[in-house]
A and B are shown apart, each in its own frame.
Chain A
Amino acid sequence: AQTVTQSQPEMSVQEAETVTLSCTYDTSESDYYLFWYKQPPSRQMILVIRQEAYKQQNATENRFSVNFQKAAKSFSLKISDSQLGDAAMYFCAYRSADRDDKIIFGKGTRLHILP
């Protein structure tokens, strides 16, 4: 069975600085999708960024980028120029390419932005 591990329950970063959230996963599959979801204090979960495992190029969305290391099964999220609105719980998630109806979440990392 696949698992997703986020080893940092909480992190803090100064506003305008860069922070990296780590995520590792375990799978025997070769084709899959990885996601970072953000859940602000208002609690609506929104997608931040996604990565297809067959793509070597790291995904980027504005200030958010990932470092995808397939061999190491690592999928970290980098947030550049951190803003107060980035404060949230961040969940790393995995979805199999073979089974398209379920995703597996990590336990989350709570990110605090210090003004």
Chain B
Amino acid sequence: DAMVIQNPRYQVTQFGKPVTLSCSQTLNHNVMYWYQQKSSQAPKLLFHYYDKDFNNEADTPDNFQSRRPNTSFCFLDIRSPGLGDAAMYLCATSSSFLSSGTDTQYFGPGTRLTVL
């Protein structure tokens, strides 16, 4: 089945130790997103890729970076995790109107990040 896959599902890191979260998709969608979600809150968009174009939200800290080496994969790098970065990180994909796609975002199961 076509889907959005996130690895790992659970990640534990130490304060200040860099960590990378990964997302892959088999939907062939051209848009990929990274969200941060804290407990009982709405997902907060960090950034997204429209094809190869990177779009950073204005309030996303510099501590967060992203890479998209190809259509299928996208990575979230947290350079120096702080205690406040502990959260669920959700990856999502969609197909833009320009490619006659749908307007729906499809989400992965998320990676829960713990910072010790």
Q: Select the residue from B40, B41, B45, B105 with max chain A CB neighbours within 10 A.
A: B105
B88 to chain A: which residues have CB within 8 Å?
43
A101 engages B55 (CB within 8 Å): yes
B16 located at the interface, meaning its Cβ lies under 8 Å from any Cβ of chain A in the complex: no
B98 located at the interface, meaning its Cβ lies under 8 Å from any Cβ of chain A in the complex: yes
Q: Give the size of the chain B interface in residues (CB under 8 angstroms).
A: 24
B42 engages A100 (CB within 8 Å): no
A103-B42 contact given A43-B88, A44-B110, A45-B90, CB 8 Å threshold: no
Q: Which residue of A lies closest to B49 (CB)?
A: A101
Rank and list the top 7 A-B pairs by shortest CB-CB distance, nearest first: A45-B107, A100-B97, A105-B42, A44-B109, A33-B103, A100-B96, A107-B42
Min CB distance, B59 to chain A, in Å? Answer: 13
What band does the interface of chain A fall in when counting residues whose beta carbon is under 8 Å from B? Answer: 20 to 34
A97 to chain B: which residues have CB within 8 Å?
97
A46 located at the interface, meaning its Cβ lies under 8 Å from any Cβ of chain B in the complex: yes
B81 located at the interface, meaning its Cβ lies under 8 Å from any Cβ of chain A in the complex: no
| CB 8 Å contact bits of B30-70 with A (1 = contact, 0 = none) | 01000000001111010010100001000000000000000
A100 to chain B: which residues have CB within 8 Å?
94, 96-98, 103
A30 located at the interface, meaning its Cβ lies under 8 Å from any Cβ of chain B in the complex: no
Min CB distance, B40 to chain A, in Å? Answer: 7
Q: How many angstroms between the C-alpha atoms of A43 and B97 in the bound complex?
A: 27
A102 engages B48 (CB within 8 Å): yes
A102 to chain B: which residues have CB within 8 Å?
45, 48
A50 located at the interface, meaning its Cβ lies under 8 Å from any Cβ of chain B in the complex: yes
A95 located at the interface, meaning its Cβ lies under 8 Å from any Cβ of chain B in the complex: yes
A35 located at the interface, meaning its Cβ lies under 8 Å from any Cβ of chain B in the complex: yes
B50 to chain A: which residues have CB within 8 Å?
101
